[in-house]
Amino acid sequence: MNSAAPKDNLTLIGSETYKSYIKSPFRSIKHSTYFETYDALLAHYRGKAITFVEIGIFDGGSLFMWRDYFGPNARIIGIDLNPEAKKWEDHGFEIFTGSQSDETFWQKFFAEIGPVDILLDDGGHTYEQQIITTECALPHIKDGGLLVVEDTHTSYMRGFGPRRYSFMAYVKRHLDKINRRYGRFAKRGGSETRIWSVQVFESITAFHINRAASERISTPTENNSNAPQAVDFRHFDNALYQRVAAKSTAKKDGKKALGSGKIARRFWKLVTRLKGASRMRTFFK
């Protein structure tokens, strides 16, 4: 049995990826919290003719783990900077050697391999390696596929690059870009359409690829219901908003009583922004 098995492995008995990990004939190192994440992300691909790429194959154990987990129809490809990794080709794996922070390497790799279903980055874990890999791989992940980056806890550690440009800082920036696809923001540009959604787990981030959904124009829709339109109560718990609005009863629209244009819009934004500011601040410490 793999000597790296966690002491609390009884909690992982039901994990299919953990079973494959333990069965591997060669050494592999995984954190005990990763297996349930693997199960949640990868179960859909089991038994299918997929192309799976893993960066960072170390002592080869994970290659056998993924072969066992995905089944005989999966094409398992390993990438490592260590030229000795080529020895795993004798076991039926496709092995490529090169630097994951080298754009030229990725150009050649995808030119030869073509699009992939899943790419798992378990490489060097520096910010440069993780970000360059993500940027180079995103265009080559199939629709319905995944790009998974492991050991993202290095974003909070020294020795992996400048913290300002950590991988998780990059991920957070992309969360904002994804939300810029919202219709009212789209014209401003800067949105992210290569990534449909992002899932963040402890030490693992997964990018889901669905180009049709990512590029769909965001517009309001309404069903054909004849139900009466309810009163909008969104600001009824804002005392300042209500006091100002009450003084505007002379006109149908309280906002118009303050005038029109930028001054009125800025005033109402300020009123709504002040609501709960002191309370919310505690959640950002």
Note the pLDDT tens digit of each residue in 35-54.
999 999 999 999 999 999 99
Q: For the purposes of burial, counting CB atoms within 10 Å of the CB of 21, is it exposed (0-12), middle (13-18) or buried (19 or more)?
A: buried
Start-end ranges of CATH 3.40.50.150 in the chain? 9-215
The pLDDT-based confidence of 259 (bands split at 50, 70, 90) is very low
Instruction: Return the pLDDT at 263.
Output: 52
Q: What is the mean pLDDT of residues 48-70?
A: 97
* CATH 3.30.300.30 for the 9-215 domain, yes or no: no
The pLDDT-based confidence of 1 (bands split at 50, 70, 90) is very low
Paired sense of beta strands 51-55 and 75-80, if any: parallel
Residue 140 has pLDDT above 90, yes or no: yes
Instruction: Return the pLDDT at 187.
Output: 80
- Collect all residues with Cβ–Cβ distance below 8 Å to 6 and sequence separation of at least 6: 12, 32
The pLDDT-based confidence of 129 (bands split at 50, 70, 90) is very high
Residue 76's CB: how many other CB atoms inside 10 A?
A: 24
Of 220, 216, 219, 213, the residue nearest 197 (C-alpha): 213
Token representation of residue 233: 């109560």
Residue 39's CB: how many other CB atoms inside 10 A?
A: 17
pLDDT digits (tens, 9 = 90+) for 200-227: 999 999 999 999 999 999 998 888 777 7
pLDDT: is 145 or 183 the higher one? 145
